[in-house]
Amino acid sequence: MAEPGIFEILYSTRAMRRLKPDPIPEATLKKIVDAGIRAPSGGNAQEWAFILVRNPELKRFIRDYYWNTWQRIVRQEAFSASALPPPQQRMLNAGADLAAHLDEAPVLMLACAHKEYAPVAALNVLRASLLAVHGSIFPAVQNILLACRALGIGATLTTIHSFFEEPLKQRLGVPDTMEIAAMIPMGYPRGKFGPVSRNPVEEVMHWDRWGQQHG
Amino acid sequence: MAEPGIFEILYSTRAMRRLKPDPIPEATLKKIVDAGIRAPSGGNAQEWAFILVRNPELKRFIRDYYWNTWQRIVRQEAFSASALPPPQQRMLNAGADLAAHLDEAPVLMLACAHKEYAPVAALNVLRASLLAVHGSIFPAVQNILLACRALGIGATLTTIHSFFEEPLKQRLGVPDTMEIAAMIPMGYPRGKFGPVSRNPVEEVMHWDRWGQQHG
């Protein structure tokens, strides 16, 4: 069978938050991470690591922190689900569902990056350093989401773990030099893949200067 | 002609730093950005913008700052090119070449993101907020690099502009609420696309806990 086309995959990779508990074969997981590490990283340093959490106890540990954080954020923001437009309502509900059932996903992948990009950190510019660090891990994360889609695995990019990063790192033995940049729950999807909806591209393209919208 | 396969593209998208000055058709640029915005963003907020700089004067403005910053970083790091292993030597040389000739690329794309991800910023956690912001723009950046590759356009992800972000934003009229997260010089490549070289995937996969390298 021919592999799916690049644009077909780019246009149909969307957050899949409702997952079946069925296990994902290790060969599939390896193929997904191997696609991830083809992404660029600053100076091609490849200072990344991918932890695949499958152990039920560890998944419950993560789920409990995640669920508590989710509730705190929703409370703080005083989201009133009924006041939101329907698409946001659906996303909020799917997010709550993901949080509540996080430990049922067969794999929680943690994408880790070295906390500092040395050539830039030496110059002592925090924001520039973080930009270089995050710019060196999220391209790999996106490759992982695309590879999941191509292999029929549902996945979602989340960053809520950053609120409980310290206890999480302690529990999994992640060195202090590393940051957990993203958590990606993975599993065979309950729903169907399909086109993503986006605002028209013309609205976000500027030519030469901000606000100049015609080429 | 069938579109190229997803894994073929994932495995052959590498930094292309030597570019021809030939212009890129607007329809191609639009297709590239349209692939970018299929990426996920926090809460699907899509608070991004893509500035396509083609004006020669503006490109020279960026080139001069970039070149000066490049020299400052190389000096600060006291890189001695001859002391580096050959692959790093080549990368450093290609980087210097890119910096010196940056304005010859037909397009310098600036990927911008809203500086704060509201639901998280409200909780006053800087690192978590930046993670959410960067995690909402670099997936789009990676989609853009992949779409460039699929369409035969050479591109490189750079973040060195962050050292002169303020004067750059002023010159292009970018609002203070936005961050320029990445600059991507684009053009038809002088070299050939080809497989990227990476450390073996087994070395970066951990199972359940850090350091547990067998599934």
Q: Nearest CA of chain B to the CA of A205: how many Å? A: 5
User: Which residue, A92, A14, A162, is CA-closest to B131?
Assistant: A162
Task: State percent of chain A over pLDDT 70.
Answer: 93
Confidence of residue B92 (pLDDT cuts 50, 70, 90): confident
> Which chain A residues in 68-127 lie under 8 Å from chain B, judged by CB atoms?
72-73, 76-77, 87-88, 91, 119-120, 122-123, 125, 127
- Whether A214 has a pLDDT exceeding 90, the answer reads no
Residue of B159, B210, B215 with shortest CB distance to A131: B159
pLDDT at B119 exceeding the cut of 90? no
Residue B121: what pLDDT?
65
CA distance A49 to B208: 12
- Secondary structure class of B8 (helix, strand, coil): helix
Q: What is the pTM of this model?
A: 0.96
- With a CB cutoff of 8 Å and minimum separation 6, the contacts of A40 are A136, A139, B14, B15, B145, B156, B157
Euclidean distance between CA atoms B21 and B190, whole angstroms: 10
A55 vs B191, which has greater pLDDT? Answer: A55
Residue A79 has a pLDDT of 58
Condensed to tens digits (0 to 9), the pLDDT of residues A13-22 reads: 999 999 999 9
Instruction: Please tell me which residue, B98 or B90, carries the higher pLDDT value.
Output: B98
Size of interface A-B (CB pairs under 8 A): 261
Angle between helices B138-150 and A138-150 (to 10 degrees): 60
Binning chain B into helix, strand and coil, the percentages to the nearest 5 are 50, 15, 35
Q: Does the beta-carbon distance from A2 to B3 stay under 8 Å?
A: no
Q: Select from A5, A11, A44 the Cβ nearest to the Cβ of B2.
A: A5
Q: In angstroms, what separates the C-alpha of A21 from chain B's closest C-alpha? A: 17
Which band of pLDDT confidence, cut at 50, 70 and 90, is reported for residue B47? very high
Q: Tell me the two tokens of residue B94.
A: 């290609």
Residue B80 — pLDDT band, cuts 50, 70, 90? low
**Confidence grade of residue A172 (pLDDT, cut at 50, 70, 90):** very high
Q: Considering chain A, what is the average pLDDT of its residues?
A: 92
pLDDT in tens, A23-76: 999 999 999 999 999 999 998 999 999 999 999 999 999 999 999 999 988 877
Name the residue with higher pLDDT: A155 or A82.
A155
pLDDT band of residue B126 (cuts 50, 70, 90) is confident
Instruction: Give this complex's ipTM.
Output: 0.95
Least confident segment among A85-94, A183-192, B186-195: A85-94
CB A113 within 8 A of CB A134: yes
Which tokens hold the place of A173? 């033995």
Render pLDDT for A73-129 as a digit per residue (tens, 0 to 9): 887 766 566 677 888 788 888 899 999 999 999 999 999 999 987 776 666 677 788
A3/B209 Cβ within 8 A? no
